[in-house]
Amino acid sequence: MAHRVRKLAGRILPGRRARQRAGDLGRELARVRRRLGRSQERVARLTGRLEKSRAAAAAARTEARTSRADLARAEARIARLETDLGNTHLTLEHYMQLDRDTTARVAEGRAALFDYPVTPRPRTFARPGKDFFGDLMRASDERVAALLRDIGPSLAPLAAVPEDETDPTLPYWSNPWLPTLDGATLYGLVATRRPSLYMEVGSGFSTKFVRLAIRDHGLDTKIVSIDPQPRAEVDALCDEVVRSPYEDIDLDLLDRLGPGDMLFVDNSHRAFTNSDVTVFFTESLPYLRPGVVYGLHDTFVPDDYPADWNDRFYAEQYLLMAYLAGGAAGDEVLLGTHHVATSPHLLQELAPFLPPTRSALDGGGFWMTRTQP
């Protein structure tokens, strides 16, 4: 009996220990689960903090980039301000010097003052599908071609004109004042039209070409020079000299020009109050007698003045173009040497008669015939 009891107890005790062990494991598992839950909560909190940190880092990086851009802009602005500050001193000195220069120029009668900035640049004068001045010049092409064929044979003596200066009383092709086509056509017009009187406003190489034409063709033409101070020594080539600004002369002098006579105007090319250009267009041209051939120099109709002349502030051509646009009082366009130079079909009419020269075949003379009294 005792043996059976011991045997049964041996069976019961291990089961009790197993149950105790199981209980202990269960409690341990519960503790582990609680710790796991707390760890999971902590992980969740850390994950949230990490996401917030990442967002904050991204925002910080964006802010840093923005700050760097702001910094760069600020530095650039500071650099500009420093430059402007330096320029301010330069500009102040510039305007002080300009004021001094302007005062001196006003005292000398050489000032040009503007109320607002001016930006000279060549214009085209044409609009899409419309080219008034180009059409006007092309309309005279047949008459111009006939004129060039007419004066061409008279140019033969020009073969003796040198490229460079050899005699101060003679013209030469490389002179900087009268381009090749201007010198040749002026010579040809005088040679073929044989005017009794040739009058010029502005003397120099034009005088030399005209005197040469008179000599070569045995003409009786008289030269009257109106110029306060010619660029070349030409007094000996003239029959009469008027050394005075054009705006100051007795304009009755032009009444001596009759049909067939010639007037060549190569003056300051600037139009303003009491300038020689203004006086010519308002007090001379309207009163020229019918049949007088007159020419203006340094005009480029139908084109504008060359770009490298922007600082000259010439305006004479614009008065001429306005005159042409208004019908020119019926005056006939005789010849525009710039138009000839830029029109191969016209240039070929005269080219065979021109002597070989290194100088470009260009010009700026514009000739017309007065038709109305």
Structural tokens at position 312: 């000259």
Report, in angstroms and rounded to the nearest whole number, the Rg of the chain calculated over CA atoms: 47
Query: What are the φ and ψ backbone dihedral angles of 223, each rounded to 5 degrees?
Result: -105, 125
Task: Report CA dihedral (254, 255, 261, 262) to the nearest 10 degrees.
Answer: 20
Select from 3.40.190.10, 2.40.128.20, 3.40.50.2300, 3.40.50.20 the CATH code of 132-369. Answer: 3.40.50.20
Q: What is the pLDDT of residues 3-16, one digit of tens each?
A: 665 665 566 556 67
Rounded to whole angstroms, the Cα distance separating 189 from 155 reads 10
What letter would DSSP give residue 157? G
Q: What pLDDT is recorded for position 83?
A: 65
Q: What pLDDT is recorded for position 348?
A: 96
Count of CA atoms in the C-beta half-sphere (13 A) of 59: 6
Structural tokens at position 279: 């006086």
Rounded to whole angstroms, the Cα distance separating 190 from 194 reads 5
Residues in the chain where the model's pLDDT stays below 50: none
Rounded to whole angstroms, the Cα distance separating 57 from 108 reads 73
Q: What pLDDT is recorded for position 57?
A: 74
Of 181, 366, 165, the residue nearest 264 (C-alpha): 366
Q: What pLDDT is recorded for position 86?
A: 61
Please, what sign has the CA dihedral across residues 25, 27, 33, 39? negative
Of 147, 148, 157, the residue nearest 355 (C-alpha): 157
Asked if 313 and 277 touch (Cβ cutoff 8 Å), the reply is no
For residue 244, the SS3 value is coil
pTM, rounded to two decimals: 0.72
Q: What pLDDT is recorded for position 10?
A: 62
